[in-house]
């Protein structure tokens, strides 16, 4: 994966779009999606890992983000 600057990222999504953010932790991965203006991100889902290294997904639907899914 190639690293980009914030300016390059802004140019790449200039025509519209959203950003997907991932917070990778030891026990789970939190996923967030930005608004159309890419100004704020809202929680989308969480990938939980159990001890057998199997992943399962839990959907997070806060009231402010229900129209983004």
Q: Which phi and psi (to 5°) does residue 34 adopt?
A: -85, 165
Mind spelling out the 3-state secondary structure of 34-56?
ECCCCCCEEEEEEEEECCCCCEE
Specify the pLDDT at position 57: 64
Q: Kindly report, residue by residue over 18-58, the tens digit of the pLDDT.
A: 888 899 888 888 999 988 888 889 999 988 877 766 666 66
Judged against a pLDDT cut of 60, whether residue 69 lies above it is answered with no
Judged against a pLDDT cut of 60, whether residue 63 lies above it is answered with no
pLDDT grade, residue 68 (50/70/90)?
very low
Domain boundaries of the chain, sorted by first residue: 6-68
Q: What is the pTM of this model?
A: 0.61
């Amino acid at each position: 994966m190639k690293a980009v600057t914030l300016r390059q990222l802004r140019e790449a999504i200039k025509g519209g779009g959203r950003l997907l953010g991932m917070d990778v932790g030891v026990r789970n991965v939190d996923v967030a999606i930005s608004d159309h203006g890419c100004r704020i991100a809202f929680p989308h889902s969480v990938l939980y890992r159990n001890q057998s290294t199997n992943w399962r997904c839990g959907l997070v639907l806060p009231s402010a983000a229900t129209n983004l899914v």
